[in-house]
Structure 1
Amino acid sequence: MFRGHNKCKEIVVSSQRTGSPSGEFYRYLKGSFNLSLVIKFNDDGAKGVIRFPKPGHTATHLRDEKTTIPVLRVSSWGLTVDSPQRLGPFIIMDFVEGTTLTTLLKQPTETEQDEVILATDVDDEKLDYVYEQLADYMLQLSRLNFPKIGALAKDPTANKWIVSERPLTYNMNELVTVVSKYSTSGWPTAPFASARHFLASLADEHLVHLEAQRNLANSPSDAKRRFVARQNFKKLPTNMLADPKTLRITAVLDWEFTNAMPAQFAYDPPWWLLLLGPDMWLENYLMEKFMVRYEPRLEQFLRALERVEARATQDGDSNGSLLSARMRESWKTKRFWFDYGIRKGFEVTGEERLDDELSEQMEKLVIRKMDQLKAYDAECKARFS
């Protein structure tokens, strides 16, 4: 029997894992959505992970079945009803040694709170090797086709992957957990049949966010920019482990908010090439500085993707238009920025002109937002003074 710190851990491991039932607690890992217990078993020294209570089992099986992306093998999983003392849903999976890819590529920092940015002196040959691996993964994912937009499931009768429910995105989860009194009444109740309807739903999601979060806009001009951006929308790697010696990626993690999304999202260049996302980068730096750093890395990544595509073509695995060409087109037409912005509800701003009717709505909203901000500041002062 596994000798952990309490009886609950003993029962979970001994009743779910095949092989020797004896082992010992090794350490625990804590992420944004996980609490994971690492166990070292006595039969062969292998390590396993028990994860509570994050979703991700379905996406893991899809990835394992349809791609060659490194998978953490799932040995068992269960719902809350299967867990001793109803602790919560769980997944028992292999433990993979490795260092986060971000740690291996980032600019050295003095503290853990400093911004994580790609090192300026990173070795191009090493980065090419990393980019080729990631390009291969992105190419495989871009070739997964689904008839609808939403949450994935495996149809047990037909033995095929389907889109069965409405999507649940990371941004949706953040809104309901961070924004008090955020209304979900307008959320979708079923999968989307088209990208147009999905994007319209995202635009509504951002408008509700703008109305609900009292401290989202800190000035009248800020409120106007956020309103303009949302109305125009309505019109239209810490999660990877690698071998620190070879930089071979050993595991890709965090598939919890996996959904079938519009294909155009897969055709955009990766936003993470500088490690720090554009939204965080532009919060502290100028656009010109971002472009000077980003565009050379984008070209380096696209060359790596072209090499991957060339090998796939030689192996007879050709699939119509090249992903590299689609990414170049997305960057050239600036669709990259539209798609990135529509997915990032906390960072949507804009300054284009509106028609008279929307301008009137905007002025009324500015008054509401400033009243909300005053009430919010007064409440904070009373609570924390």
Structure 2
Amino acid sequence: MSQQKTSPLKTYFDELEETNGDDECREWLDSLFDARAELATFVATRREGRGTGTYVELLKGSFNFSFRYTFSDGRPDTFIRFPKPGHTATAYRDEKVTNEVQVMEYLRQHTDIPIPRIHSWGLTADSPHNLGPFIIVDYVTGTLLSTILKQPDEEDLYLNPNIDNTLLDKIYFQIARYLLQISHLTFPKIGAISKDNTSNTSNTWHVPNRPLTYNMNELVTVSGYPADKWPTTPFDRTSDYLASLANEHLTHLWTQRNLADDPDIAQNRFIARHRFKQLISKYYPTENEPFILFCDDMRPSNMLIDPKTLQITAVLDLEFTNAMPAGFSYDPPWWLLLSGPEVWLERCALDEFLKLYEPRMEQFLHALARVEREIEYNQPGHLSLSARMRGSWSTGRFWFDYAARKSFDVDLVYWATLHSAGTGIEGLDEKARAELEPFKRMKMEQLKAYKEEYSARFSSAI
């Protein structure tokens, strides 16, 4: 890929917070490995069959750590998965696992998406030595789909530019079928779904809890975001939820100490995040859309595929899936180049992104339209999902929605795709304009204190 100037608005994590999380995770991993043999017995008691468990291998991801076990009774292997403290917000690990289990059960009931079967799950209090909440599921064989799709010999995750279109069509068709099924599953609120357990025979699902999102987890683990600023209940209206996301961006702006290297960057971020909030009514002028399950992280890196048949064998890691504004599900997938658009925007390469992305988007939408024809999807008076995705792209709502979910990238996306001439400082309201200069001074004071703390911590470690 061509090298271009790096954007000054690239957002860095708070390395002090990130190091704290790594230290917490490292200490926890020692306890987990010490319990590896004990966990074999624990897993055996929570699955069908009576076989003795034997450790096979470890499996690690960004947020989770798993042990795979095989059993003497010949039944399928299983693995037990724990969210990693420090990489998953420790205070929210029970909430994360509870939400994910509910989503997995719901999708197994209502779709043909290949979701691994859950044998057992529990909260921190249910685990040996309080290691954390866990899920015990069938081990599914397969290769990560991203491995099949990525550019060979490239350290970063980029779609292979020479990939066979027939192969890609087959994969897109399967994923399009999953997304179409999900788009039909609606809920009355925005938040985490749960099965109504008021009776043993109930199969009713509702939205009793707040949304716990990928962005929330990132903010609390690598930015120093104050936990008392999170929502505590579900949302009834799209506009209220989007306002909450815009406020998340603003709180992040004020609290992460190393977010601006100089006053100009501080000002650009301030304008971007205040102007973003003003754009809500432009991209969501009405409140009459349903709420649909949406997973920020449903992408090839979390899917397994049989490399011989090219059939997807499992969709994994459905944490941070919630009932969300329908518009999020009506956007074309952000991951069609495997890496997100911010990778290009950081290099001021929007044109390059568009040149690469739009042909793949067309290919995906053709696959989706083929799925719609094959299942004879037709609702009089309603647009098809493929038409809605085209509309999202043509109006720019794709970019607004992406920025809404990405506190670390909202500034990049705003200035590259959402900003219009004449809406800089003059586009701010009177209150925001009055706050700007004190804000810039405060960010420079924060940065100075951050650098001093960073230097004291890491220089002493050398």
Could you say which TM-score interval applies, normalised by the shorter chain?
Answer: over 0.9
Equivalent residue in structure 1 for 2:428, among 346, 351, 355: 355
SS at match of 2:147: helix
SS at match of 2:313: strand
User: 1:94-105 counterparts in 2 under 5 A?
Assistant: 94-105=138-149
1:265-288: CA deviation from partner (whole Å, max 9, x where unpaired): 000010000001011222135111
- Answering whether residue 438 of structure 2 is matched by residue 364 of structure 1, we say yes
Residue 227 of structure 1 corresponds to: 270
Equivalent residue in structure 1 for 2:72, among 39, 42, 63: 42
Aligned partners of 2:102, 2:381: CA distance in 1, in Å? 26
TM-score (norm 2): 0.78
Contiguous gaps of at least 5 residues in structure 2: 1-33, 84-92, 281-299, 416-422
Residue 288 of structure 1 corresponds to: 351
- Answering whether residue 161 of structure 2 is matched by residue 84 of structure 1, we say no
Contact preservation (8 Å) 2:122, 2:133: yes
Aligned partners of 1:5, 1:200: CA distance in 2, in Å? 44
- Answering whether residue 342 of structure 2 is matched by residue 279 of structure 1, we say yes
Counting aligned pairs with the same residue, the percent is 53
Equivalent residue in structure 1 for 2:369, among 306, 310, 317: 306
Deviation at residue 140 of structure 1 after TM alignment? 1.0
- Answering whether residue 306 of structure 2 is matched by residue 263 of structure 1, we say no
What is the aligned length?
377
- Answering whether residue 127 of structure 2 is matched by residue 127 of structure 1, we say no
Residue 150 of structure 1 corresponds to: 191
Equivalent residue in structure 2 for 1:328, among 390, 400, 412: 390
Residue 171 of structure 1 corresponds to: 215
Deviation at residue 43 of structure 1 after TM alignment? 1.8
Contact preservation (8 Å) 2:196, 2:204: yes
Give the 3 Å change call, closer, same or farther, for CA 45–252 of structure 1 in structure 2: same
Equivalent residue in structure 2 for 1:184, among 202, 206, 227: 227
- Answering whether residue 82 of structure 2 is matched by residue 52 of structure 1, we say yes
Q: Quick one: which amino acid aligns to residue 376 of structure 1?
A: Y
Deviation at residue 7 of structure 1 after TM alignment? 5.2
Residue 88 of structure 2 corresponds to: none
- Answering whether residue 399 of structure 2 is matched by residue 337 of structure 1, we say yes
SS at match of 1:238: helix
User: 1:210-249 counterparts in 2 under 5 A?
Assistant: 210-235=253-278, 236=280, 237-249=300-312
1:336-375: CA deviation from partner (whole Å, max 9, x where unpaired): 0000001000011145322362233222212211221122
Contact preservation (8 Å) 1:312, 1:318: no
Aligned partners of 2:185, 2:330: CA distance in 1, in Å? 12
Aligned partners of 2:175, 2:450: CA distance in 1, in Å? 44
Aligned partners of 1:318, 1:123: CA distance in 2, in Å? 36
Decide which moves more: 44-53 or 150-159.
44-53
Aligned partners of 2:317, 2:397: CA distance in 1, in Å? 26
Residue 111 of structure 2 corresponds to: 67
Aligned partners of 2:337, 2:173: CA distance in 1, in Å? 16
Residue 109 of structure 1 corresponds to: 153
1:131-185: CA deviation from partner (whole Å, max 9, x where unpaired): 01111111111111000001111001342110001111111111111122x2232
Aligned partners of 1:282, 1:97: CA distance in 2, in Å? 36
Contact preservation (8 Å) 1:106, 1:275: yes
Aligned partners of 2:195, 2:403: CA distance in 1, in Å? 31
1:33-81: CA deviation from partner (whole Å, max 9, x where unpaired): 2221101112225211111246121111011011111010111222333
Contact preservation (8 Å) 2:210, 2:232: yes
Aligned partners of 1:356, 1:47: CA distance in 2, in Å? 59
Query: How large is the RMSD of aligned CA atoms in angstroms?
Result: 2.0
Contact preservation (8 Å) 1:58, 1:152: yes
Equivalent residue in structure 1 for 2:243, among 200, 211, 236: 200
Aligned partners of 1:29, 1:269: CA distance in 2, in Å? 30
Aligned partners of 1:196, 1:52: CA distance in 2, in Å? 35
Contact preservation (8 Å) 2:193, 2:208: yes
- Answering whether residue 91 of structure 2 is matched by residue 17 of structure 1, we say no
Q: Quick one: which amino acid aligns to residue 124 of structure 2?
A: T
TM-score (norm 1): 0.93
Aligned partners of 1:319, 1:308: CA distance in 2, in Å? 19
Aligned partners of 2:184, 2:402: CA distance in 1, in Å? 20
Residue 28 of structure 2 corresponds to: none
Aligned partners of 2:251, 2:260: CA distance in 1, in Å? 14
